[in-house]
Chains A and B, each alone.
Chain A
Amino acid sequence: MARIGVFVCHCGENIGATVDCARVAEACRKIPGVAHSVDYKYMCSDPGQTLIREAIAQNKLTGVVVAACSPRMHEPTFRRVCSESGLNPYLCEMANLREHCSWVHEKSDVTTDKAIDLVAMLVEKVKRNKPLHPIKVPVTKTALVLGGGISGIQAALDIANAGHKVILVERDPSIGGHMSQLSETFPTLDCSQCILTPRMVEVAQHPNITLYTYSELESLDGFIGNFKTRIRKKARSLDEKLCTGCGLCTTKCPNKKIPSEFNTGLGMRTAIYVPFPQAVPNKPVIDREHCTYYTKGRCRVCEKVCPTQAIRFDQEDQIVEHEVGAVVVATGFTVKETDFFPEYGYGKYKDVINGLQFERILSASGPTLGEVKRPSDGRVPETVVFIACAGSRDPAKGIEYCSKICCMYTAKHAMLYKHKVHHGQAYVFYMDIRAAGKMYDEFTRRAIEEDHVQYIRGRVSRIYERNGKLIVQGADTLLNAMPVEIEADLVVLATAGVANEGAEALAQKLHVSYDSHKFFVEAHPKLRPVETNTAGVFLAGACQSPKDIPESVGQASGTAAKVAALFSMDELTREPVVAVVNRTAPPLYSTCVGCFLCQSACPYQAIEREEIKNRNGQVVKTIAKVNPGLCQGCGTCVAFCRSKSIDLQGYTHEQVYAEVMELLS
């Protein structure tokens, strides 16, 4: 029989005044397997702890039950005491006589009886406890950062500056992300490029950062501290080592009429191109879809003009592999195009544009070199209507959420327009003005009060063209829904921020969960906002939900801190409360039959497949295996497994069964 020690704490009057602690200790002494049972005024005090230490040694205890306060309070204390006395800490359990008994019941025999039951239950549990040892997982101190927008840049720099290696992967030919497309930024109206470009350069030059642009994640396997990643380097069609970035090729390329992605289709680029002048790296890429050589088989002008013979038409995609310990997902977001809005003409009116396009129009490096000219005819618009919440907060469009940044950038747009076109009229249709943030409300007020932007609370029902003007029909809900009709020259839709195309596929590669809008889901909405449910995979920026720059940067730094904390250890130590698939003697090897229905029940993708081989090396069966690096110990798989092949250490079948049977015996 086991040799269990029971230690009943009075907690001064807290327990002692309500529960007859001496009677509890006395009753427990009679339980078979209890070798020692005492009560004491303050078990957590030094003398109390000494009492436990001595009893463990003298009575050769094989388990300890401390009947005191909530285990959520002092379990670590008493487990440490056991550990110091040479008893495995997981052989110690606490019965909650204070929060669950003395504090909630009146002093009576019934209350003491309950206390005895609670201790007896834990005694039966402890008899079946097994020594457990913290799980050690080695850590590869390299972070993979996906996405080279401001979030990814910030996270990469912070992690690199903490002394760890970073692999930064960007899908586009240059890092910079949406921020590089912006003109000025709210609420300070400083130039976006001016503040971003130095960071981009820093990334390129940082000795700890390996940059892969024009690259995408191919696969991610493994678990926290021990991921294996494969990255697809798409063929740039040139030798980056030889290319000096002189730009001759881009000027000579005969194919010049390709809508520029960077300029949101408002400007043109060549087939071999650098997306924008400050691009990092400043090396071109051949757009094989449009390049005459690839489409028609002739041209090769770039190859001829290149002074370093860097062009490589036969280059193929390359797969590079890296081992990483953590992953930061900073893949950002996108905004809806105007064709999403039937009521605003399905995108067929050239002068109905979205906010990002207007950013390019405002940008000094943009297609109009910063002059406000409308796309259709290049005229300066006299009347501009801005429509906030275009798509956002609209259940009918399937986007119930607030895109968060539009209120602010719409105010900025209207303000910048007014600064450039002083006589122009700017109208903003809005639902609410959400300007919560440092200097944010002041900013929108300035637009209204100083720059005389006209804010109309209401929705625009329709836009149509009449005599070269865009007729904007709406209603002013502050004026009893009075119909409003404005003849506009340009309409800017603050279209909803949505998840990137491919977000779902990426989430599946990363094994992170995503919401119904394909935004990635954090581990806890309040307390673990930068972690995902997959340990070691973190989030930064707008891939989680639309965010502005300061918030993205803040979250990126938060994520970097998490990664740095993870990398501060050579080994991860994890609570051994994890699920384990049983193993039995051959020829069965395990009672697991490999139905793998548990896999989808696991919130952490911790259940893997394990092939069991016999002595001759033949695979005899495939069973489930819990990766202790990923398992968090919820036990959902355990209760789910029909053949009881999985058990949860610390809450095993035998333990909980014994608790229930004892409680009612």
Chain B
Amino acid sequence: MEALQKSAREALENHKAKVIIGYSEGSGGRMRPIFVQSPAEAEKLTWNDRCTQNLAVYIAKPEVQKLGKPALVAPLPVLRAVLQLASENQIKEGDLLVLALSDGRVTELSQFSEMEEFVAKTPTHLASKDQEAIERLEKMTPQERWQYWQSELTRCFKCYACRAACPMCYCSRCTVECNQPQWIPVPAHPLGNWEWHLMRAMHLAGRCVSCGACGDACPLDIPIHLLTMKVEADIHREFGSQAGMKVQSEHALSSFKVQDKENFII
């Protein structure tokens, strides 16, 4: 904690960053994103297991951009989101600083190559509760899975907190907002919800950094993060690529290998 605050303070004092985007203790046991602009405020920064929001989501926000160069307090998923955003031309080298967190240590990273190295040596497996939840679903019969997702997704009221919380959902017009044609029904009815969540997961295929921020953001506790995590895990297994590991990387769904698996095609 002190290490984080110290790094943040130094980054501000040495003008390496104009604002530190980090976590602070919020209300009701919740964590709150904080935008630290003066060294004195750095003491509010904290870091614990409850910090599940992916702060990379703020990089694209115009109001935040106006504050100047940011330094992101970055547990692994935030760091991976930064790299994935970079690979998608959304940020340039030098646009931001990262205060990477691992094992209680804070590492200041400014070059993408440093971030790549850092990510490469940090394990990227899913949290065990998510892994178990996916496996539990995989073990169900298709009918049970259908029922499960029907009952979960039918509850969705389309507040789009999942989309808003996702650093990779930075499109200025989401497909749900395309109305010529209206691909996804606007209302939060069962079909509209089903198509929205399936599409969201597909659009994150090969891009999801498996941070789980979407699921955490859902006010109704719908485990939608399992969808994107599952797709991402499959892509990793089948094609060997993982989002948010390298800036110069081929996106899993816009590249191919001649020998890709096709046992489901006749």
Contact = CB atoms under 8 A, between A and B. Distances in A.
A643 B255 contact: no
A104 interface: no
Nearest to A657: B181
Interface string A571-600: 000000000000000001001011111111
B173 A591 contact: yes
B221 interface: no
Given A595-B89, A596-B88, A640-B254, A588 B183 contact: no
Interface string A621-665: 010000000000000000010111100000001100110000000
Q: Output the residue of A622, A643, A654 with the most chain B CB within 10 A.
A: A643
Contacts of B181: 653-654, 657-658
B183 A642 contact: no
A640 B253 CA distance: 8
B178 interface: yes
A600 B254 contact: yes
A601 interface: yes
Interface residues of B, number: 19
Contact of A600 (B172, B183, B250): B250
B251 interface: yes
Contacts of B251: 597, 600
Contact of A593 (B172, B175, B178, B183): B172
A280 B251 CA distance: 48
Contacts of A599: 254
Contacts of A654: 180-181
B58 interface: no
Nearest to B255: A600
Nearest to A595: B88
B239 to A, nearest CB: 13
B171 interface: yes
B191 to A, nearest CB: 13
A599 B254 CA distance: 8
B203 interface: yes
B178 A622 contact: no
Contacts of B89: 594-596, 622
Given A643-B175, A643-B178, A597 B254 contact: yes
Interface in B201-254: 203, 250-251, 253-254
Contact of B171 (A593, A601, A640, A653): A593
5 contacts: A593-B172, A597-B253, A601-B254, A653-B180, A653-B181
* Top 6 A-B residue pairs of the complex, sorted by shortest distance between their CB atoms: A601-B254, A595-B88, A657-B181, A591-B173, A643-B171, A642-B203
Interface of A: 588, 591, 593-601, 622, 640, 642-645, 653-654, 657-658
Given A595-B90, A643-B174, A653-B178, 16 more contacts: A591-B173, A595-B88, A595-B89, A597-B254, A600-B250, A600-B255, A601-B253, A601-B255, A622-B89, A642-B175, A643-B175, A644-B178, A644-B183, A645-B173, A653-B180, A657-B183
